[in-house]
């Protein structure tokens, strides 16, 4: 049994603002629901088995945190004390009787804890399912959890969704990787089943709006977007939005869900333990039977997000080349479709990185002087012939090649051209990020960052040590992008290694002469 620790309260108990208790806050939906509730005017209490996992969440300072395992009645009841609404967003993924039994016990415990704590409403996000069919273990367990919570004695809203569209959603990521990595495929017959997907933005609207339902409302609602598509249609439309050629998809009846799940786990980085129950659920057609939710949570003025728009939002961070937000979690996400630090490593599409760093016996200013002179007539600090050949090849396919050079030999500003790169970010003495404008089957960046170590000035009075980090980042576009990365990967050591060392040597040469011109 988990010991119930005191609730970490950021607000006084007398605060009249409604309190929402949220489970599953380290998961895909829960981590995005918290900031939406805060924006809607709720106080939020985040329930977590391991509160330390919330440390890097951008909303951590704005919420209360309670340590609780939903299998522990005492701890859960204490964590739900005073809550006006409790969100149950806890799921197990598996195929054996153990996960179904655990889901059942957790739902029974949570329902009892909510009733005994006087919670006004439970809101649960489950899975949409067809009536009258034998359900997959995954969907069957979701259905059972909803029924348990509806029978808890607490007014309950059960939202039943099919595929959720958004970067980080396991179902969306599985579709993304299959579409991007396979221009042609033999697929199981379930690829022709109809599905009514829904954007994560609209899921969160329904979750937040459900908190205000009248107490006499206690039922399940189907929620879905405006489009009813086959899985094959979704893959073709994803390809269109992502700028990929139309996929060749042939369906055959011989691939069982078991074989399909293993095929998915080989082709995509989605773990087999997640892919297997998701694929098992795709054997069902899941289309909304009603839209009664609109009576309590009206559709937004512009309507629910169409499939293509939801995909565009999910891909937005990549297409906007916002590397700092997308891949280093350096800023607070601005929309539900944006990535979070808690998203799994395999979410967000393929990303390849050549990451190198070294200590430099020079000040950050001297290192920056070397960094900011990169490209143009100054060269790239490594294997000049390789850069000339790459520039020539780029020009042959219609790219700028190396002919643009750079505007100033010693200074760079935002949006400057540097050969076939463009300055995307420049923070003097800290960061230079270049975005590739060469013809590539994907998006690429070269990022050079500077930091000092904790060692200060080494013995002997030498110059302080500075860490220079160099990252070449590539987001492939379809199978051609995957092939390109692995084709050029063998030469990275000959190009990027000497480049880093050359910048370091140039910076060390400046020791004692003072920094050169900077941005």
Domains of the chain listed by start with CATH number: 19-328 (3.40.50.720), 352-509 (3.30.530.20)
Cα–Cα nearest to 382, from 453, 449, 472: 472
Cα–Cα distance, 457 to 298 (Å, whole number): 63
Structure tokens at 448: 């050079």
Residue 485 confidence (pLDDT): 85
Taking a C-beta distance cutoff of 8 angstroms, is the pair 69, 49 a contact? yes
Element (DSSP H or E) covering residue 495: helix 492-509
Taking a C-beta distance cutoff of 8 angstroms, is the pair 78, 2 a contact? no
> How would you write 53-110 as a 3-class SS string?
HHCCCCCHHHCEEEECCCCCHHHHHHHHCCCCEEEECCCCCCCCHHHHHHHHHHHHHH
Cα–Cα nearest to 22, from 6, 34, 9: 34
Residue 171 phi, psi dihedral angles, 5° rounding: -65, -40
Taking a C-beta distance cutoff of 8 angstroms, is the pair 61, 8 a contact? no
Residue 458 confidence (pLDDT): 46
* Average pLDDT over the chain, rounded to an integer: 82
pLDDT tens for the chain, 519 residues long, are: 344 444 444 444 456 889 999 999 988 899 999 999 999 999 999 999 989 888 878 898 999 999 999 999 999 999 999 999 999 999 876 545 577 888 999 999 999 999 999 999 999 999 998 888 888 888 888 999 999 999 999 999 999 999 999 888 888 888 888 888 888 888 778 788 899 999 999 999 999 999 999 999 999 999 999 999 999 999 999 999 988 889 998 887 766 666 666 666 667 666 666 767 677 677 788 999 999 999 999 999 989 999 999 999 888 744 443 333 333 333 333 455 555 555 555 556 667 888 999 999 889 999 999 999 988 888 888 878 877 888 888 778 777 877 788 888 888 888 888 888 889 888 999 999 998 888 888 888 899 999 987 544 444 555 557 999 999 888 888 778 888 888 888 888 888 888 899 999 888 887 755 444 344
Residue 271 confidence (pLDDT): 65
Residue 359 confidence (pLDDT): 92
Cα–Cα nearest to 225, from 299, 284, 167, 157: 299
Strand partners, 43: 19
Residue 262 confidence (pLDDT): 63
The set of residues, in sequence order, having a beta carbon less than 8 Å from that of 235 and lying 6+ positions away, is: 175, 178, 179, 191, 247, 249
207 Cα distance to chain centroid: 20
The tens digit of pLDDT for each residue in 461-478 reads: 555 579 999 998 888 887
CB atoms within 10 A of CB 514: 10
The tens digit of pLDDT for each residue in 383-398 reads: 788 778 888 887 787 7
């Amino acid at each position: 049994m988990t010991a119930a620790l005191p609730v970490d309260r950021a607000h006084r108990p007398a605060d009249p603002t409604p309190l929402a208790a949220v489970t599953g806050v380290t998961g895909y939906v829960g981590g995005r629901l918290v900031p939406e509730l805060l924006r809607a005017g709720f106080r939020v209490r985040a329930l977590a088995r391991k509160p330390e996992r919330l440390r890097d969440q951008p909303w951590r300072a704005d919420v209360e945190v309670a340590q609780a395992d939903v299998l522990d009645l005492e701890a859960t009841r204490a964590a739900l004390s005073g809550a006006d609404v409790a969100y149950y967003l806890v799921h197990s993924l598996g195929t054996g009787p153990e996960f179904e039994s655990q889901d059942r016990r957790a739902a029974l415990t949570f329902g009892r804890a909510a009733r005994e704590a006087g919670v006004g409403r439970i809101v649960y996000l489950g899975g949409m399912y067809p009536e009258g069919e034998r359900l997959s273990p995954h969907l069957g367990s979701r259905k059972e959890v909803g029924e348990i919570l509806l029978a808890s004695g607490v007014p309950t809203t059960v939202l039943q969704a099919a595929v959720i569209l958004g970067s980080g959603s396991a179902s969306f990521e599985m579709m993304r990787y299959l579409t991007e990595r396979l221009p042609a495929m033999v697929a199981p017959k379930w690829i022709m089943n109809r599905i009514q997907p829904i954007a994560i933005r609209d899921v969160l609207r329904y979750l937040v709006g459900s908190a205000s339902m009248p107490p006499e409302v206690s039922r399940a609602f189907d929620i879905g977007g405006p489009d009813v598509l086959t899985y094959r249609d979704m893959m073709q439309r994803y390809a269109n939005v992502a700028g990929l050629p139309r996929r060749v998809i042939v369906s055959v009846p011989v691939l069982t869900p078991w074989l399909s799940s293993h095929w998915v786990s080989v082709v995509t980085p989605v773990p087999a333990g997640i892919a297997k129950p998701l694929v098992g659920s795709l054997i069902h057609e899941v289309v909304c039977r009603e839209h009664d939710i609109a009576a309590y949570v009206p559709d937004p003025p512009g309507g629910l997000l169409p499939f293509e728009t939801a995909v565009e939002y999910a891909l937005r961070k990549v297409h906007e080349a916002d590397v700092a937000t997308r891949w280093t979690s350096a800023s607070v996400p601005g929309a539900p479709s944006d990535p979070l630090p808690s998203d799994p490593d395999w979410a967000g599409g393929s990303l390849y990185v050549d990451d190198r760093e070294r200590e430099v016996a020079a000040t950050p200013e001297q290192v920056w002087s070397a960094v900011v002179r990169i490209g143009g007539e100054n060269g790239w600090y490594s294997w000049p012939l390789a850069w000339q050949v790459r520039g020539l090849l780029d020009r042959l396919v219609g790219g700028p090649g190396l002919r643009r050079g750079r505007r100033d030999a010693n200074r760079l500003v935002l949006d400057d051209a540097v050969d076939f790169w463009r300055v995307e970010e420049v923070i003097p003495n800290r960061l230079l990020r270049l975005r590739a404008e060469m013809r590539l089957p994907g998006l690429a960046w070269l990022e050079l960052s500077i930091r000092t170590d904790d060692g200060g000035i080494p013995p002997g009075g030498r110059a302080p040590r500075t860490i220079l980090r160099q990252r070449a980042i590539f987001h492939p576009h379809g199978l051609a992008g995957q092939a390109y990365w692995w084709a050029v990967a063998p030469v990275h050591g000959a190009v990027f290694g000497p480049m880093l060392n050359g910048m370091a040597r140039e910076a060390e040469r400046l020791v004692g002469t003072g920094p050169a011109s900077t941005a």
